Amino acid sequence: MVIITLQRDKCIGCNYCAELAPEKFRMSKKDGKSVLLRSVEKKGFHTLKDPDDSVFEDVDKAAKACPVKIISVKMI
Ligand code: SF4
C-alpha cells in the first residue's frame, strides 16, 4: 500500500509531478494547480491510499522534484 499526500494550496503549478507521475497527477485547467487523482481532501491535505505499490517509484521522483515540497509518499 502506498500513501500519497498533496498539500494542494501551496502548489505553484510547475508541472513536474504531472510529468513524472502522470498516472497520479494532472494539472487542473481551472486553477493551474496539481490534482492528485482520486484523492480525498481534509484540511487542505489531499490523500490517496493506493494498493498498487508499483506507483511508488514515480511518485517518489515527483515528491523529490517538487520545488515547494508539498508531495509526500510512503509505502506501508
Ligand atoms: S511538482 Fe509540486 S509545485 Fe509542481 S505542480 Fe506538482 S505539486 Fe505543484
Distance 58 CA to ligand 1 centre (A): 14
Predicted pLDDT at 25: 98
pLDDT tens digit sequence for 2-11: 999 999 999 9
Tell me the domains of the chain and their CATH numbers. 2-75 (3.30.70.20)
Which residue's C-alpha cell is 515547494?
A: 68
Element housing 17 (H / E): helix 16-20
Look at residue 73 in the predicted model and tell me its pLDDT: 98
Ligand 1: which atom is nearest the Cα of residue 62?
1
12-40 pLDDT tens trace: 999 999 999 999 999 999 999 999 999 99
On whether the CB atoms of residues 25 and 37 are closer than 8 A, the answer is yes
pLDDT at 56: 98
